[in-house]
Amino acid sequence: MKQADEADSLTIAMQKDGIKKLKERQIQLKQESDKQINIQSVDKEISSLSRKFAADEAKLQSFRTNKRESADKLRKARADYKEEMERIETHKLKQKSLIDEFEKCNATIEYAQKMVNLTTEKLDKITVGNIIDEHGNVINIQEQLT
């Protein structure tokens, strides 16, 4: 019986040792499982951040493209503005030139009208019996004769 007790004690000790090893293995598996869950969680977070980063990178690229397009549009608008201002300045110069020419024409017309009036006046005086001397003065012959 003693041998049976020793055998039972040995069996119990081996079973306790097996249980202890199984518990250690269970703890190890639990820790590995927790690590795996943590790794999966981190992987999900990395994946989420990667998608967010890709979206932000796409937005940044879009902003850069928009900035380039806007800069090109601004450059073109400035060039168009400069061209329009030059066209307006040219138009103003032409307009001033035409106004000056118009004023010269008006002055010429006024002078011509004045000359026509003087000539008409002298002609009227000549037909009445007057004459014009070498200085352009009208002389009444009737007064000169008397």
Q: Is the model more confident about 137 or about 44?
A: 44
Confidence label for 127 from pLDDT (cuts 50, 70 and 90): low
- What percent of the chain is predicted at pLDDT more than 70? 92
Quote the domain boundaries for residue 62. Answer: 2-145
Yes or no: say if 119 and 113 are a contact pair by the CB < 8 Å rule. no
Q: What is the mean pLDDT of residues 118-146?
A: 75
Asked if the model's pLDDT at residue 78 lies above 70, the reply is: yes
Q: DSSP per residue over 30-89, as a string?
A: HHHHHHHHHHHHHHHHHHHHHHHHHHHHHHHHHHHHHHHHHHHHHHHHHHHHHHHHHHHH
Q: What is the mean pLDDT of residues 3-20?
A: 78
Asked if the model's pLDDT at residue 4 lies above 70, the reply is: no
Instruction: Please tell me the total count of domains within the chain.
Output: 1
User: What is the pLDDT at residue 114?
Assistant: 96
Asked if the model's pLDDT at residue 130 lies above 70, the reply is: yes
Q: Is the model more confident about 77 or about 137?
A: 77
Q: pLDDT digit string (tens) for 48-68?
A: 999 999 999 999 999 999 999
- Tracing tokens 């009036």 back to the chain, one arrives at 117
Distance set, CA 21 to CA 8, 10, 14, 83, 118 (Å): 19, 16, 10, 90, 141
Interacting residues of 122 by C-beta distance below 8 A, sequence separation 6+: 132, 136, 138
Under DSSP, is residue 133 helix (H, G, I), strand (E, B) or coil? coil
User: What is the pLDDT at residue 1?
Assistant: 61
Separation between Cα atoms, residue 43 and residue 104, nearest integer Å: 90
